[in-house]
Structure 1
Amino acid sequence: MDDGGPIGGKHGAGEYNEQLSKIARANRLQTLTGSTVNLENDQYLMRNQNGLLECKLCCTTHKTEASYLNHTYGKTHQRNLERRRITLARKEAIAGGIRSGTQVKVDPAKNTLKIGDPSFEVIKKRDITTGNLTILVELGYPDIKKYTSPKYRIMSTYEQTVEPPDPNHKYLLFAAIPYNTVCFKIPNMNIINDKIIEDWKPHEKKYTFQLTLTPNVDQ
């Protein structure tokens, strides 16, 4: 009888696991090699004045190509890509309708008569220890459409067409029917998502929004 060790001992398993590790490393290397080529054609990638990689679409900064690549596979980047695709498709459809003389559907909200800007107050506070910047915006919408509430959006400098692109800033927008959309230019710093605060008081018709920006670091 052979008492040299148990059947299926650790020696064989170790060799098998080592082989799997080699295959995984080879696959990662192949992925990174292919991704490097893709980076050269990435229209949203730029290197800023600090030498960091910046995603122009999402307003994020990254220290390494690997970090940037990881970001491009994330939900935020993919969601913004889809939003960008829809925006471009809508513009092309409208332009095509005008050229061909066909009727273009109009969003009723966009066709609403505007009554002017809401009242607003902006308060900024900087933490000298962390460098974080907190921005508090209070807006009044006394004549807002019934059963609606104000909406906010953060837009990168490359999404707007009113001013020349400025990578040092992005835009904070507030919209409510039937008021004009108001826009504030804010520093292009990273947003701490879990510190965004919204408060809508429908009886007082007061809307409060607060966000905290932190100095750009690798994400």
Structure 2
Amino acid sequence: MDYSNRVNSKKGSGGVADAQETNVHTRRRLKELLTTQVLDIDNDPYVFRNHLGLLECKLCLTTHVSESSYISHLGGRKHQLNLEKRRILDEKYNNRNQQRDAGLNSVSISNVPKRVWNKIGKPAFKVTKIRDTNTLKMGILINVKYPKINFNAEEPMIRFMSFYELSQKNQNVVISYVDQQKSGDEASGYQYLIISAEPYENICIALPNKEIDKPKKEGEMSDTYWWFWDKDTKEFFLQMLYKE
């Protein structure tokens, strides 16, 4: 549109258009948009017609009185920026799902299913300090009774953990227990033995933070470190000696 030689126009720039000419230009532009683009509400994921018959853009949260207004909005800067933001978010979401699916095929601590059972209470156990008569090494003998365990049940599982491997809840329990002993030691100065057997609750025994004289290979026993599961009496024995 030629705006030259009009009232209030500056030299070297277009003149000022009146309202009538602006409306004519707007109608012409909308007519061109309608002829070049066809609005398909069913296939457009971001537009819907509300109860008042107006078109709404769910991506930009805008309302439009006609299809031509919405088509004009599609080519606007706001809608294009929101489309780009949406594309970036979708890519991040897809990448996260791919990494999660890839992780399901590998073995890690997060995807190993946890064993869950109906717990019936804590078993009775006894901790006895011992000393080897030949080497004079100090040690501990632990006896745990499981009277209600199944006859064909597997032997209890044992694991040694440090204070920092415990969960936040268990750390608080351990701190409270150590404070009750009034020994002046900190909870992080102990090592913790966890014994687990279904359907009983796990028990945790705080042991002195000394090196245990046991084989380097996991699952092996020796004269200074051994355990025994008696299926007849349903008792579990664990004996360990400390290194000098």
User: Larger relative CO (CA 8 A, sep 6+): 1 or 2?
Assistant: 1
| Structure (1/2) with the larger strand percentage | 1
TM-score calculated relative to the size of structure 1 = 0.46
TM-score calculated relative to the size of structure 2 = 0.41
Give the greater-gyration-radius structure (CA): 2
